[in-house]
Amino acid sequence: TIDGTAVKLNKEDFEKVLAVNLTGSFLAMKAALPHMISQQYVRIISISSVAGLIGWRGSSAYAASKAGLIALSKSLLQTGSV
């Protein structure tokens, strides 16, 4: 995985981690939701990490992406989008 402290990590690598862990999950949810809704059976399981809750030394991008995934999943539930 690409990661490191915020001081050492460059913007491009930070964005790559977000693209895989957060944007990828968002796009998969977005693609699957219309089909699930039409079947009236919506179940999405998001796999995150404790790093998304408490942070993780030397893993700023990973922790940020997992925290984002947690928030995305909770937001979908709260807005009734799922």
Whether residue 41 lies in the annotated active site: no
Ramachandran angles phi, psi of 72, nearest 5°: -60, -50
> Hunting for tokens 């690409």 — which residue is that?
2
Handedness of CA 17, 21, 52, 15 (dihedral sign): positive
> Choosing from 62, 64, 69, 76, which is the catalytic residue?
62
Residues with a known catalytic role: 62
